[in-house]
Copies of this chain bind each other. A is one copy, B any other.
Amino acid sequence: MSDKGRILSIQSHVAFGYVGGKAATFPLQCLGFDVDVVNSVQFSNHSGYGRFGGTKTSAVELTSIFDTLELNELLNPSRLLTGYVPNAEALTAVAEVASKLKKQKPDIIYMLDPVMGDSGRLYVAPDVVPVYRRLLSLATIISPNWFEVETLTNVPLKDMPSLRRALTILHTDYKVPNVTISSIPLQPWLVDAIPSHLRPTSEGPHLLCISSSSKFKSESESDRLSSVHAQCVPLLPGYFSGVGDLFSAMIVGHFEPSDASSLPSGKTPLSHAVSCALTKTHAVLVATHEYSEKLPLEDRLPTDDEQDKVEPMRKIKRMKGRELRLIQSMDIITGKAIKDLRHMEPWTGFWEEL
């Protein structure tokens, strides 16, 4: 097992199941990283179950951990991964550490997942948003979802000009060199906009994953703001938790900026890392979906908001049956069980006005 260095991972902890740190730590360890794990909450299970117990780690508690690590000269990771932090005070404590690490080691790889919400709904306190905006300039890579891009940039994404504007804001105003947006629903305007070779080759609903690197462009792209890559992935039915957390962990685990020169033409370190992350995350998701499909009917009753309210166990059992099959996917995570990569392909013409 090769020695990949240390990652400091700051995100949520759940006793049961795989979201936040529980979705990130084991995969990164399997890739060979020593992971320094700081838990922003300790909950029984993720909040999607409807009922959860446990506590949030206060800013004072977080600071006590960070300060002692620093005092003991144990705060020197080569990579930093931050995810869900429940409130602005705690996130400010995390921001102080990120800032300190960046000053100490300007080439630290900081993967910032600005976990704020999904599908039009914030699930953190609103005062978290400006703290994330201030944090952006420290990040090497960010992995917002569709809604988080809109929240950070104040740009509603409805067409190519707005998508270009949002990426321009992130790269130029917020100085983020690498942006990846996963799981974008393939709306008609997006299908029309993507080059034909990127369109789905199979039937059924798909999601689009985009990566955009302003830092690593080929010579032919020197007049462009960034090098954009994309890939369509079949959408699996139903909702799985922790997928974004696993995806971000896999990106930071596979990102190797020093390899830029050895990459095939047209790839960037980000597009390569996202290709690996997308391939592995999708494979884990397929394994999870197949497992959940075989469960008894009572463990996979379909979402029904009214029924779910009356019988909380309906939803809880559904959530339980959809926990990521992470442990059983070790060979996927290490790459042993991966035959072909889902390559992120160059989106030529992204920056050209239609």
Contact = CB atoms under 8 A, between A and B. Distances in A.
Nearest to A332: B1
A66 B16 CA distance: 10
B65 A44 contact: yes
A282 to B, nearest CB: 18
Contacts of A71: 51
Report which residue of A13, A51, A317, A327 has the largest number of chain B beta carbons within 10 angstroms of its beta carbon.
A327
A67 B64 CA distance: 28
B30 A42 contact: no
Interface stretch (A54-62, A201-209, A236-244): A54-62
Interface stretch (A31-39, A106-114, A212-220, A270-278): A31-39
Contacts of A39: 13, 39, 42
A286 to B, nearest CB: 15
Contacts of A51: 68, 71-72
Contact of A330 (B30, B42, B53): B30
Contacts of A37: 13, 15, 22
A74 interface: yes
A327 B55 contact: no
Given A38-B15, A330-B30, A61 B72 contact: no
A316 interface: yes
Which label, helix, strand, loop or mixed, suits the secondary structure of the A interface? mixed
Quick one: which of A32, A45, A320 has the most chain B CB within 10 A?
Answer: A45
A45 B74 contact: yes
Name the residue among A34, A37, A44, A330 with the largest chain B CB count within 10 angstroms.
A44
Nearest to A10: B15
B45 A53 contact: no
Given A49-B72, A73-B316, A36 B64 contact: no
Contacts of A34: 327
Contacts of A53: 64-69
A118 interface: no
A287 B294 CA distance: 42
Contacts of A329: 1
Nearest to A4: B327
A3 interface: yes
Interface in A85-128: none
A44 B69 contact: yes
A316 to B, nearest CB: 5
A351 interface: no
A328 B3 contact: yes
Contact of A32 (B8, B65, B320, B327): B327
Contacts of A35: 327
Nearest to A18: B34
Contact of A1 (B66, B73, B320, B330): B330
A84 interface: no
Given A1-B330, A16-B36, A57 B42 contact: yes
Contacts of A68: 44-45, 51-54
A64 B69 contact: no
A43 interface: yes
A8 to B, nearest CB: 8
